[in-house]
Amino acid sequence: MPNPQPKKGLFQFYPHNLWWIGLSIVAIILDQWTKWIAVTHLNYADPVPVLPFLNWTLLHNYGAAFSFLSDAGGWQRYFFTSLAGLVSVIFVFWLMRMPKNMLVLPLAIALILGGAIGNLIDRVALGYVVDFIHVYYNNSHFPAFNIADSAITLGTILLLIDTFFLEKHRIQRAQAQHD
């Protein structure tokens, strides 16, 4: 059986990375499905208690993750839509070029990609992002968020772990193989 070689050039890709694209698609579907449930079953800004520290609260976010710049005057919709679109294209290319022996970095990229596209769909279709997960403790409230925000956050944490802890080991292994 022939060993599949990546295509050369800018559009080089490894077929095994389609699994990571699949994970991004799962994140998008889960995000959009939970937002649909929130929109169809919750009243706007009317908290539904779930646990002593968690409510389902339907909100519209005109800013970025965790309501960052939500009251900036409207320009942020176009900025975040463009940014998410650009980052998504870059991440698809980056993800498809990942070597087979990597795990944490493509997982991080797949989660960030799925979250970015999940929120991008809302921005394009609605002009805002649907948030509904509201975490709090006593009188301290964290901004409402959604599954896409969670995927982006988890992906970013994994990306930082890969960058600060795993990249060094990859470089050392590569140098040892060349010696």
Read off the pLDDT of residues 127-179 as tens digits, 9 standing for 90 and up: 999 999 999 999 999 999 999 999 999 999 999 999 999 888 777 777 778 76
CA 157/CA 63 separation, integer angstroms = 21
List the domain range (segments joined by +) for residue 101. 15-178
- Residue at 2 is within a domain: no
Q: Which residues pair with 141 in a beta bridge?
A: 136
pLDDT at residue 86 tops 90:
yes
pLDDT at residue 2 tops 50:
no
- Residue at 100 is within a domain: yes
- Residue at 10 is within a domain: no
Count the domains in the chain: 1
- Residue at 98 is within a domain: yes
- Residue at 4 is within a domain: no
Q: Over the stretch 65-81, which tens digit does the pLDDT of each residue have?
A: 555 666 656 676 778 78
- Residue at 8 is within a domain: no
> Could you list the active site residues?
131, 149
- Residue at 9 is within a domain: no
Confidence (pTM): 0.86
Q: Which of 153, 129, 124, 148 is nearest to 62 (CA)?
A: 129
